[in-house]
Amino acid sequence: MTALPQMFHDWFATKGWSIHPHQQQMLDRANAPALLLIAPTGGGKTLAGFLPTLVDLAEAPRDGLHTLYISPLKALAADIKRNLTTPVSEMGLPIRIEDRTGDTPASRKRRQRADPPHILLTTPESLALLTSYEDAPRTFKGLKRVVVDEIHALAESKRGDQLMLALGRLQRLCPDLRRVGLSATVEDPDAIAQQLARHPDPCEILLADPGPAPDISMLTTDEAPPWSGGGAAYAIPAVLDQIRQHKTTLIFHNTRAQAEIFFHNLWLANDDGLPVGIHHGSLDRQQRERVEGAMVRGELRAIVCTGSLDLGIDWGDVDLVIQIGAPKNVKRLVQRIGRANHRYNAPSKALLVPANRFEVVECVAALEAVRAGALDGDPRGRGPRDVLCQHILITAAAGPFDTDALYAEVITVGAYARLTRAEFDACLDFCATGGYALRAYDQWQRLLQRPDGRWQLRDPRAAQQIRMNIGTIQDTDTLKVRLKRNSGGKPLGEVEEGFAASLTPGDTFLIGGQIVRYEGLREMTVEVSRNAAKKPKVATFLGTKFATSTQLSARVIEMFQQESWPELPAHTADWLHLQREVSQLPEPGRLLIESFPHDGREQTVIYGFAGRNGQQTLGLLLTKRMEEMKLNPMGFVATDYATLIWGLTRVDNPAPLFDLDALQDGLETWLAGNAVMKRTFRASATIAGLIQRNTPSARKTGRQATFSSDILYDTLQKYDPGHLLLDITREEALRGLVDFGRIEEMAQRVGNRIDHITLDRVTPLAAPLFLEMGRVPVKGAAEEKLLAEEAARLMETSGLANITPEPASKPRWRVGY
């Protein structure tokens, strides 16, 4: 056992603490090449990660970078800096700690490269940027340890893959580098350990005492939740009650739009004037910082927030977490709850507030899953090659490189361990020449092979452009929102470009908890004025984000088979009885399909309970058949339980939709042309460096040509169908779909056991589907029909009306397509 130095011992003593067993274990294994610690939030996890560094530097002070700390959030890096500075300064340790994120001033960033601190706190993107400079070997010289915090959050996205590729590079620069991962509870620690360690090094996993089980329950209210809707306005009085009874409450929402609406309603009902704030990623940075500051000082009683306030940030005395809407991911729910009550060994308290009645069922199923310890999550699969392409470009930006050495480095990354040399070479070729069958502009290729066999950038100025494009997060293009100049010009936040395009002057919407009126667009900024309206006219923005999976389908369909539901609140049990009365509840082994008109379109719901990926695939296949059968499908949306398809023509007989031979025929062409593929292509093409990111400054100067990725996709499909990026697109898109074989099996299994029910209105069970995120448009014959119909209407009324929307008294939910 490595003894804790006296100085540390004393410091722990003055705090009245003793070292946790897992902190001691981390210290004992300070020399392990890779180590993964799984510990609950509040368990001294961060200190456990840093203790070996602090001890090492206390005993043998030295210059230069010693430990690199990576976290998924900028705010987390800043927070850790605060927490780490306390022991360092109280013990008088000769340790300099600095953070480096997108918000760090350029002058300090330059200085950090030449004169790095002992401990540098940063994000995966900032690290990738650091490795893209020629002086990276000097910056990282002598680096001993890297600590990856909240690794469970990084591991499930491309950010994690990018980070691990960067660590591969660092490991080559500093062969003795030790890797430490800190994670919240996860279902498969081995998978994360494999990603963390240098392949094929082993990685020991330390499990800290998980502490007492969290205290989670569903908030029961006198008022019944609605059939549909995500606002949970009905629960406002009950939530206010809870805020009064607790010190600090975090109120999580699944989307920013829901957070805005809830905050607005909460404020209208807040008769005691409790200090309540709002925090989400679209708000202006200053506004976010103000809320964060107020929270740290304990001035707020509650914060309405989204995932931007997620993860392990220590915001002080949170003693209650409220989750509005069914948790879309049980694992995330448990991690969020870990945020409440940061005292180790005290149970965390959380309340679920379902927004509609279907969510009541989901919440009950989720609580069962939590009690059973069944956390969800999808296996990650192999490392995405678009991220590898970006890594090759980053390597080139840092100077000439040898391809054999780079390949050897890449396959030390767990996720890329099985990458073949041929696959690697194809990525290199793409980076160098674009990888087209037509060698149209070889003279302008991006990378050149030098006489010594190494590769370099043709034009060194390209390094700048590569750096601007670093990162794997797919931001939808957003526009800044500010008050009009004569109202002060204050920045308020951001909205999606697509949302801004749908606004007409006079429209009102919510941002930062206030209602504003759209005035116009000025130099790529949305100008608004304050508005005293009670209700916003347009009720949503940022509405196309994918919901993550709950994987609760088996539990839910099982629950549906019961005669009655004593475990559910009466209003929800009644609602299920009503579904049974007007239609029926889905049964295992049969397929329930409902068709009804709604919203000016013909709707069909297929309750397959095949999981979100399965239902998504089903949507793709069925819309193909519907297009062929001239049913004019316009789009679909999938949940774990059902697929909703809308179109112009009513489905009278769904059986032919499942005709397997017809499904197969022309399937590839249909899938290739689908919006899911185009969306995936856009993401991969941006990451791989084919399309430049639309930075606001670039758009403003107009120097950067922006290209419709859909047109690039169509052109590639037509003239170069074997191109690497199309191959990558297919591979990436398939991560969100299931094998078509499985859908075939399902069609065969169900056979003629289809229960098709035609109704004249929405059923109870179908109602919540209309607000689902992730709608996929189908652009077929229906579009031409719509166009003709709308044109006829417009030409008839022209002269009377320009194209202005009809006034609406209640909020219109602008879900696209």
Partner 1 sequence: MNCHDFTFAGAALKALGSGALWWPHQALLCVSDLHLAKSERVARRSGQSLPPYETRDTLERLAADLAATQARLVICLGDSFDDLTAAASLPEQERLWITQLQAGRRWVWIEGNHDPGPLEFGGTHLQEMALGPLTFRHIASAEATGEVSGHYHPKAGLHARGRTITRPAFLFDSKRLILPAYGTYTGGLHSHSDVLGTLMQPDALAILTGPMPTCVPMPR
The footprint of partner 1 (CB under 8 A) covers: 433-434, 436, 438, 440-441, 444-446, 458-459, 462, 465, 501-502, 599-601, 634-635, 689-692, 704-708, 711-712, 715-716, 718-720, 723, 777, 783-784, 786-791, 794-795, 798, 802-803, 805, 815-817
Please say which residue, 211 or 689, places its beta carbon nearer to partner 1. 689
CA angle 275, 279, 285 (to 5 degrees): 115
DSSP annotation of 431 reads H
Could you tell me the smallest distance in angstroms from the CB atom of residue 707 to partner 1?
A: 6
Cβ atoms 600, 650 nearer than 8 A: no
User: What's the N-to-C CA distance of the chain in angstroms?
Assistant: 62
Cβ nearer to partner 1, comparing 591 with 782: 782
CB of 651 to partner 1, least distance (A): 17
Q: How far is the CB of 710 from partner 1 (least distance, A)?
A: 11
Q: Which is nearer to partner 1, 80 or 631 (CB)?
A: 631
Pick between residue 217 and residue 669 the one whose CB is nearest to partner 1. 669
**CB 708 to partner 1: min, Å:** 7
Q: Which is nearer to partner 1, 201 or 783 (CB)?
A: 783
* Nearest residue to 145 via CA among 51, 38, 8, 44: 51
Shortest distance in whole angstroms from residue 467 CB to partner 1: 13
Helix (H) or strand (E) holding 743, with range, is helix 740-750
CB neighbour list of residue 23: distance below 8 Å, 6 or more residues apart: 44, 47, 48, 51
Please state the separation of Cα 322 from the chain's center in Å. 20
**CA dihedral of 690, 696, 698, 702, whole degrees rounded to 10:** 110
State how far Cα 681 lies from the chain centre: 18
Bridge partners (DSSP) listed for residue 428: none
Check the CA dihedral 6-8-13-18 and report its sign: negative
Smallest gap, in angstroms, from Cβ of residue 147 to partner 1?
A: 36
Helices 611-628 and 740-750, axial angle in degrees (round to 10): 80
Rg (CA), the chain: 28
DSSP 780: S
Q: What is the Cα–Cα distance from 599 to 409, expressed in whole angstroms?
A: 55
Helix or strand holding residue 461 (H, E): none
Minimum gap (Å) between residue 546 Cβ and partner 1 = 20
Q: Which ranges of 379-461 does DSSP label H, i.e. alpha helix?
A: 385-397, 403-410, 421-433
Query: Taking the complex as a whole, how short is the minimal distance between the CB of residue 543 and partner 1, in angstroms?
Result: 12
Closer CB to partner 1, 112 or 632, in the complex: 632
- Return the number of the residue (186 or 688) whose C-beta is nearest partner 1: 688
Nearer to partner 1, 145 or 537 (CB): 537
* Closest CB to partner 1 among residues 559, 691: 691
CA-CA-CA-CA dihedral for 729, 732, 733, 736, to nearest 10: -170
Helices 570-582/357-371 angle, 10° precision = 120
Q: How far is residue 55 from each of residues 3, 46, 51, 88, measured CA to CA in Å?
A: 10, 14, 6, 11
Residue whose CB is less far from partner 1, 406 or 634: 634
Output the smallest distance, CB 606 to partner 1, in A.
21
Q: How far is the CB of 2 from partner 1 (least distance, A)?
A: 52
Residue 361 vs 725, nearer CB to partner 1:
725
Structure tokens at 169: 């590079």
User: Coil, strand or helix: which one is 448?
Assistant: strand
Minimum CB distance to partner 1 smaller for 215 or for 772: 772
3-state helix, strand, coil in the chain (%, to 5): 45, 15, 40
**Of 7, 2, 407, the residue nearest 168 (C-alpha):** 407
Tell me the C-alpha to C-alpha distance, in Å, between residue 697 and each of 472, 498, 702: 19, 19, 8
Identify which of residues 262 and 518 has a Cβ nearer to partner 1 in the complex: 518
Min CB(762)–partner 1 separation in Å: 16
- Shortest gap between Cβ of 491 and partner 1 (angstroms)? 23
Looking at beta carbons only, is 301 or 446 nearer to partner 1? Answer: 446
Q: Which is nearer to partner 1, 18 or 798 (by Cβ)?
A: 798
What's the one-letter identity of residue 66? H
- Residue 189 CB, nearest approach to partner 1 (Å): 41
Minimum CB–partner distance for residue 466 and partner 1 (Å): 9
Shortest approach of partner 1 to residue 676 CB, angstroms? Answer: 17
Closest C-alpha to 244, from 276, 215, 214: 276
- With a CB cutoff of 8 Å and minimum separation 6, the contacts of 233 are 261, 262, 265
Q: What are the strands, taking DSSP E only, across 468-545?
A: 478-483, 491-496, 508-511, 514-522, 525-530
